[in-house]
Structure 1
Amino acid sequence: MKRKSILFLALFSVLAVNAQWKPQGDKIKTKWAEQVDPKKPLPEYPRPIMERGQWKNLNGLWSYKIQEFGKAAPSKYDGQILVPFAAESSLSGVMKDVGSKNELWYETNFSIESGWNGKNILLHFGAVDWKTEVFINDVKVGSHTGGYTPFSFDITPFIKKGSNQKLVVKVWDPSNDGTQPRGKQVKNPEGIWYTPVTGIWQTVWIEPVNAKNITDLRTTPNIDQNTISIKADVKGAETGDLVEVSVLENGKEIANEKAVVGESNDIVLTAPKLWSPESPFLYQTKVRLISKNKVVDEVKSYFAMRKISSKRDENGVMRMQLNNKDYFQFGPLDQGWWPEGLYTAPTDEALKYDIIKTKELGFNMIRKHVKVEPERWYTHCDQLGILVWQDMPSGDDQPIWQDKKYFEGTELQRTPKSQEIYKKEWREIMDHLYSYPSIVVWVPFNEAWGQFKTVEITEWTKNHDPSRLINSSSGGNHFQTGDILDLHKYPAPELYLYDARRVTVLGEYGGIGLPLEGHLWRANDNWGYVKFKNQAEVTAEYVKYAEILKNLVKTGFSAAVYTQTTDVEGEVNGFMTYDRKVDKMDFKAVNKINTEVINTLNK
C-alpha cells in the first residue's frame, strides 16, 4: 500500500504542475509545443562551448507579477510563468503584454546540491530582455542591461543554511519606446514587425566552482600557420598558476600545452583538418586550471580550423574565401522566431530543426537576422556545418521608407546614451560569440535601422575582431568602409551597385509569399513581396530568381541571402510555414538549383 501511495502522490504532483500551466491563446503552434514539460523545459546544458560536469537547471514554473514601474517588490503574485519563455509568449502560460510602463517580477526557490559544500555558486542567466535586477534571499546581488547576452553572479555570500534559497528577478523592457537593441520587436506588431519579448527568454542555471575558476575561453585558429590559440580568462589567479590545454581528435589526445595564466596557449597542429560546411570537423579540448600542482578547474570545449577572408579573383572581382579558396556563400534570412515561444524555441530539437532544413535546401550559410540565438544554436551550426552571418539587433529609430535620405548617406543622430548602449551591447555580443567557428561575418547595421557613425562603428568592429569579415550596413546607407557592399533587392535579384574594392553581396532578395490556410498567425493582412497560390508556383518563381542569380555570380556577387527560412507572424514568405508543419516549396528542386548557384563559383 505504501508503494501505491508514493506512486499516487508522484502522479498527483505531476498532474498538479501541469494543471497550473498550459499554453495560452489559440494561435498556431509547432509540433514541439506539445513536448514541453513544465517540470523541466529546455533541460539541455546551455553552454556547450565551455562545459563543466556539475550544474543545475532552474527552468520551470516561477511566480510572476506584472506591476507598475517603480513599485516595491510584490507581496502577492499574479500566478505562475514558465521560465524561460517570455511573458508575451503562449508557452509562458501568461501571454500578456508588459510594456514600458510596467515591470515584470519573478520569484522562485531553489536548493544547493549537498555535494557542492565549500564551492562558490554561480547563478547564470542565458538572456533576459532588457534591464534586469537580481535578488538572492532579499539581497540585491547584481544588475544587467542587454537582451541578448548571458550574465552571471557569484551568489556564494548570500546563500543561507538550509534547503531553500529565494531568487527574485525584476525586469523592465521599454520595447520600441526605448532606444535599446530590440530587433523586430514593437508594441503594435504588423507587417514585418513582431510581438515584444519581455523578461527571461533563455535558460537560468547554477553551477559550483572553486574560488579560482575559468570564466571564458577565446579560441583563434590560424590555418596558414597550422596553429590554434586558446586563451583562458581566469578569476582569482595567483602568480604561478597555469592553464593546460589538451587537444583531442576523435577522442585521442594529439597535443598538450601549458601556459601561465594571462598568456595564450599557441598550439601547433600537424596537418590539421579544416572545417567547412561540406566537412565540419571539430577538435575537442580539455582546459584545466592548475594551482600548486592541483587541478582546481576543468572545462570541456572544442574548436575548428577555418579561415574567412577575401581576395581578388583572376577577373579582378573581390571574392569571399573560405580556407583560402573562393567560396560562394548562399543561405536564407533566418529570424529565429517561434509561434508559441517567440524568441525561444520550444525544445532543443526544434532549435536544431531549422538548421537541418536549411542544409536540406542545399544552403551553406544562414544570416541570423537582428537577433542573437542561445549558445546551443551556434554549436548546432558548428556541428552540422553552416556558415553564419551575425546581425547586431537593431534599435533606436527605424527609417522612413519613403525618405530616400536613408539610402544616401544621411545617418541617424543618436543620443550619447543611445550610442553607449549600442556599443556596450555589440561588444558583449561579439565577445560572447567570438569562439564559435561557424560565425564568419559581423553585421553592425541593417537597412539604416538605427545606423549612426557607420565608418567609426565599422572600423571599431574590425579592430575588435580582425578574424572575421565586416558587413557594415546590410542593404542601406552605403559608406566606403568594411569588407562588404551589401545590396537588398526585392523580389528578383539585381546587381545595381558594384564595389571593385570590396566584396559585393546580395544581402536580401526574394520574399516569395504563399499564405496557407490553417498555418497562419493571423487570418488577414498577411504579407509578402509577391504572392502565389501553390507550391508549384512559388517553386517555379524561386528557380527563376536563382537562374538570374547564377549569371550575377559570374559578374560580381560573392554571396546571396534569400528571404526567408520560415513565415514569421504576418509574413508569409518562408520556405516553411511558421508552425514548421508544411514545406512550402519543393525542397529537392530548390536544393538542385541552389547547388548550381553555389557551384557557379565553388568549383
Structure 2
Amino acid sequence: MTKLNLKNLSLVFLMAILTMASTKAQEKLSKPPISTPWAEKVNPVAPHQEYPRPQMSRENWVNLNGQWDFAIVSKGSSSPTIYDGKITVPFPIESQLSGVGRSVGSEHELWYAKEISLKSSQRRGKVYLHFGAVDWEAEVFVNGKSVGIHHGGFDPFYFEINEALVKGEKQEVKVRVWDPSDDGPQPRGKQIKNPHGIWYTPVTGIWQTVWMETVPESHIAHIKNTPDYDNGTISVLPTVKGASGNTKVKVVALADGKEVASQEGSIGNVIDLKIPSPKHWSPDSPFLYDLEVSLMSGNKVIDKVKSYAALRKISMGYDANGVKRMLLNDKFVFQYGPLDQGWWPDGLYTAPNEEALVFDIIKTQEMGFNMIRKHVKVEPARWYYHCDKMGMLVWQDMPNGDHGNEWEMRPGIIGKGTDRDRSAASEAIFKKEWKAIIDANYNFPSIVVWVPFNEAWGQFKTKEITEWTQDYDPSRLVNSASGGNFEMEGAKITGDIIDLHNYPAATMPDPGIYGKDNVIVLGEFGGLGLPVYGHTWQDKDNWGYQSFKDKEALANRYGEFMKTLENLITAGLSAAVYTQTTDVEVETNGLMTYDRKIIKFDESWLKAAHRNLYSVQVKMQ
C-alpha cells in the first residue's frame, strides 16, 4: 500500500470518527433525559389541530402543521434543492418533538418546504398564510416568490399569497428562518446558545401553528374589544379591508347562547354594546360574552367572525392607611401566582399538545393560585383563551434581549441597575415587537398587567417605554420593571407598580415610603429547590435558590413564607409571585418537576394555605 493510500485511508477514518461524533452529539440533543406524559400522544403528521385564533375565528381555514422538509445551510445561501429530512411543525428544530433535535446558530439559516393543496373554491377572495410565531426572522416564499419578511419571535403574522399562486391545486411553500439567539439584540427571553443556570436551550424556527384561510375581498381584518366595567358596555372597534361605500358592521353579544345586545355601525368607528344586567368576569366567576361581528352590505352578510369579551376592571385605590392597592372590579383581591416560564423538556417553547398546554393552568388553579406571571415568553393565543375561560389572571412580560447593563439584588432592597445604551436598530426592534405583542393579545381579559422589563435585562428608556405602554393600553396596569431598575421622581416610580425581587424569603418595600404613589408587589421570591431523582434534566449539579432533601422540609419552609405573606398583605402588599411553576432544565425550584409527572407539594394543603391569603381583610378608603 502506498503512502498516498495510507494518507487517504487516514482521512476517511478521521471523517468517519467525526461523523460518528456529530451523530452522537445530535442524538444527545434530540433525546432529552426526561419527557412529559403527552410526548407519546403527539401525532407527527397532524399535531396541534385546534383553531389557533380563538379571539377571531372563521370556519374556512386549513391547518398546515405536520411534516415539512427542512435544511440547515450557511447564512446567505440560496434556497436549497436537497433537504436534510423531515421536521414536525410546529415544534422548534432543537426539540425532541420536532423529530430533528439539532442546533442552528447565527451563522446558519433554517429552511422549511411543504407542498400544499389549494382547491379552486379556496381561491375565491384573499388567501392568507398565517404563522402563530417564528423565531426570529422569517421570509416566506410561495412557488418561489417572496411574499414577505417578518421580524419577531413572539407575535403572529400573515401574508396575502394570491399573486404568488400558480394554476392547479399544488402550491409550494418555503420559509427561510434566521435566528441569532444571544448573538443578536432581538427579544429572546431565556434562550442562550450555551445554556446553563437560569438560561435555556435556544429555540429556532416555527414554534406555533401554521395555517391558511380564505376571506372575501371585503373582510374583517382585526377587532379590538374593550370592556367598560363602570358603564356595563363592551366596545368593539373593527378594522375592515376592501370595504365599499355601502358596507357596515353589525356586532351581536350573546350570553349562554342568547342574544343580549346588538348594534350596527359604520366602517372605522367604535361600536358600543350596552349589556343589560351585566355579568362580571373574575377568578371566582369567569363569565364570557360571545360576540358575532358581521360585515354587512344591506341585509347580506359578506364576512363574519366570532369572538368573545368580558366585563372586568383592573385599577388602583387606597386602603384605610393610605397605601395604594391593586383592585379587581373595584375590590381589593390579593393576586398570587407562580412565575411561569412555559418550557417543555420535549417541545421547548411548544407544548406537546392542547392537553399539555392546559395542564399547567389547571394545576396552578387546583393549587389555589389565582394569577400567573408569564415570564419573558408569550404563549400561543389558545393559552390565554383557556386562562380567560378558567378565570386565571395573567401578568404578561415582554421577552428580554440585548443584555449588557448591570443589575444587583440585595435582600429587601429595590433592584438596582443601569439603563442599557441600545443602538437605534435594537430599540426599534424592541418597540415594534412590544407593540405587536400588545396588539395580538389586547382582547384577552385575563391579562391585567403588562411588564415591559425584568431585572434590568436589556432595560432602556424606562420612562418612555412605560408611559407609552400606559397610553397605548390604559385598560391595564403597567409594571415598568419587575425587580429591575426603577426610574423615580421623588418617591414616585414610573408606572403603576413597585416590584421587589427577593430570594428566598418573602418581604416587601417600605409602604410608608413607596406605597403612597405605587402599588406594592413582590414580583419574585421563593425558588425553593427539590430535585426529584429520575425527573431531572441532569443527574447532578441541579440548581435552586435554596435546596431541600425531602418534601416535608420543603413544605415547612413554604408554610413559613405563607405566614409572612399574610402579615405583608395587612401592611400593604397587593400581589406576590412565587418562583416557579415547574423545574426548567437544570433549575429544580418548581412546584412540579420539568416532566410534569411529580407535584412536590400536597395540592389540598397548598390550596388551604393560599385560601388564607385571600381571606386577609383589608379595609379600603
| TM-score category of the 2 structures, normalised to the smaller one | over 0.9
Of 524, 531, 534, the residue aligned with 1:515 is: 531
Tell me, in whole angstroms, the C-alpha distance in 1 between the residues paired with 2:181 and 2:50: 29
What is the letter of the counterpart of residue 497 of structure 2?
Answer: I
Return 495-504 or 101-110, whichever deviates more. 495-504
1:577 matches 2:593: yes
Tell me, in whole angstroms, the C-alpha distance in 1 between the residues paired with 2:618 and 2:595: 34
Instruction: Give the aligned CA root-mean-square deviation in angstroms.
Output: 1.7
Question: 1:183 aligns to what?
Answer: 189
Tell me, in whole angstroms, the C-alpha distance in 2 between the residues paired with 1:398 and 1:564: 25
Judge conservation of contact 2:48–2:353 (CA < 8 Å) in 1: yes
Return 354-363 or 521-530, whichever deviates more. 521-530
1:411-422 paired onto structure 2 within 5 Å: 411-422=419-430
Question: 1:553 aligns to what?
Answer: 569
Of 431, 452, 461, the residue aligned with 1:453 is: 461
Of 443, 465, 489, the residue aligned with 2:502 is: 489
SS for the counterpart of 1:353 is: helix
1:469 matches 2:485: no
Judge conservation of contact 1:127–1:151 (CA < 8 Å) in 2: yes
Q: How far apart are residue 38 of structure 1 and its match?
A: 1.0
Judge conservation of contact 1:328–1:602 (CA < 8 Å) in 2: no
Q: How far apart are residue 270 of structure 1 and its match?
A: 1.2
1:325 matches 2:341: no
1:55 matches 2:68: no
Tell me, in whole angstroms, the C-alpha distance in 2 between the residues paired with 1:541 and 1:22: 37
Tell me, in whole angstroms, the C-alpha distance in 1 between the residues paired with 2:561 and 2:233: 42
- Give a deviation string over 1:178-215, Cα, whole Å, max 9, x none: 00000000000000000000000000000111011111
Question: 2:447 aligns to what?
Answer: 439
CA 1:164 to 1:602, structure 2 compared with 1: closer, same or farther past 3 Å? farther
Q: How far apart are residue 119 of structure 1 and its match?
A: 2.7
What is the letter of the counterpart of residue 121 of structure 2?
Answer: G
1:127 matches 2:133: yes
SS for the counterpart of 2:195 is: coil
Question: 1:541 aligns to what?
Answer: 557
Question: 1:164 aligns to what?
Answer: 170
TM-score when normalising by structure 1: 0.94
SS for the counterpart of 1:381 is: helix
Tell me, in whole angstroms, the C-alpha distance in 2 between the residues paired with 1:292 and 1:118: 21
What is the letter of the counterpart of residue 302 of structure 1?
Answer: Y
What is the letter of the counterpart of residue 473 of structure 1?
Answer: A
Question: 2:400 aligns to what?
Answer: 394
1:16-55 paired onto structure 2 within 5 Å: 24-55=30-61
Q: How far apart are residue 403 of structure 1 and its match?
A: 9.1
Judge conservation of contact 2:93–2:100 (CA < 8 Å) in 1: yes
Question: 2:367 aligns to what?
Answer: 361
Judge conservation of contact 1:257–1:267 (CA < 8 Å) in 2: yes
SS for the counterpart of 1:132 is: strand
Question: 1:15 aligns to what?
Answer: none
Question: 1:593 aligns to what?
Answer: 609
Question: 1:7 aligns to what?
Answer: none
Tell me, in whole angstroms, the C-alpha distance in 2 between the residues paired with 1:402 and 1:287: 50
Q: In the comparison of the two structures, how many residue pairs are matched? A: 583
Q: How far apart are residue 239 of structure 1 and its match?
A: 2.2
Question: 2:352 aligns to what?
Answer: 346
Q: How far apart are residue 496 of structure 1 and its match?
A: 3.8
Tell me, in whole angstroms, the C-alpha distance in 2 between the residues paired with 1:164 and 1:356: 42
Judge conservation of contact 1:22–1:91 (CA < 8 Å) in 2: no
Q: Structure 1 stretches of 5 or more lacking a match?
A: 1-20
Q: How far apart are residue 539 of structure 1 and its match?
A: 1.4
Return 152-161 or 423-432, whichever deviates more. 152-161
Judge conservation of contact 1:87–1:94 (CA < 8 Å) in 2: yes
Tell me, in whole angstroms, the C-alpha distance in 2 between the residues paired with 1:316 and 1:98: 54
Tell me, in whole angstroms, the C-alpha distance in 1 between the residues paired with 2:427 and 2:83: 36
Judge conservation of contact 1:240–1:260 (CA < 8 Å) in 2: no
Tell me, in whole angstroms, the C-alpha distance in 1 between the residues paired with 2:326 and 2:617: 10
Tell me, in whole angstroms, the C-alpha distance in 2 between the residues paired with 1:553 and 1:580: 31
Q: How far apart are residue 318 of structure 1 and its match?
A: 0.6
- Give a deviation string over 1:363-413, Cα, whole Å, max 9, x none: 110000000000000000000110000000000015545699994452111
Question: 2:268 aligns to what?
Answer: 262
Tell me, in whole angstroms, the C-alpha distance in 2 between the residues paired with 1:484 and 1:422: 21
Of 525, 542, 564, the residue aligned with 2:541 is: 525
Tell me, in whole angstroms, the C-alpha distance in 2 between the residues paired with 1:481 and 1:24: 45
SS for the counterpart of 1:215 is: strand
**Structure 1 residue ranges (4+ consecutive) displaced by more than 3 angstroms after TM superposition:** 21-24, 398-409
Judge conservation of contact 1:327–1:601 (CA < 8 Å) in 2: no
SS for the counterpart of 1:418 is: helix
1:188-199 paired onto structure 2 within 5 Å: 188-199=194-205
Tell me, in whole angstroms, the C-alpha distance in 2 between the residues paired with 1:414 and 1:291: 50
CA 1:377 to 1:601, structure 2 compared with 1: closer, same or farther past 3 Å? farther
What is the letter of the counterpart of residue 433 of structure 1?
Answer: N
Question: 1:6 aligns to what?
Answer: none
SS for the counterpart of 1:424 is: helix
SS for the counterpart of 1:31 is: coil
Tell me, in whole angstroms, the C-alpha distance in 2 between the residues paired with 1:497 and 1:144: 45
Tell me, in whole angstroms, the C-alpha distance in 2 between the residues paired with 1:408 and 1:183: 20
CA 1:402 to 1:483, structure 2 compared with 1: closer, same or farther past 3 Å? closer
Tell me, in whole angstroms, the C-alpha distance in 2 between the residues paired with 1:306 and 1:220: 10
SS for the counterpart of 1:45 is: coil
Q: How far apart are residue 541 of structure 1 and its match?
A: 1.1
SS for the counterpart of 1:582 is: coil
SS for the counterpart of 1:257 is: strand
Tell me, in whole angstroms, the C-alpha distance in 2 between the residues paired with 1:402 and 1:383: 39
Q: How far apart are residue 419 of structure 1 and its match?
A: 0.5
Q: How far apart are residue 261 of structure 1 and its match?
A: 0.8
What is the letter of the counterpart of residue 535 of structure 2?
Answer: H
Question: 2:518 aligns to what?
Answer: 502
Tell me, in whole angstroms, the C-alpha distance in 2 between the residues paired with 1:403 and 1:218: 39
Judge conservation of contact 1:536–1:586 (CA < 8 Å) in 2: no
Question: 2:229 aligns to what?
Answer: 223
Q: How far apart are residue 583 of structure 1 and its match?
A: 0.4
Of 106, 113, 118, the residue aligned with 1:100 is: 106
Fraction of identical pairs, as percent = 55
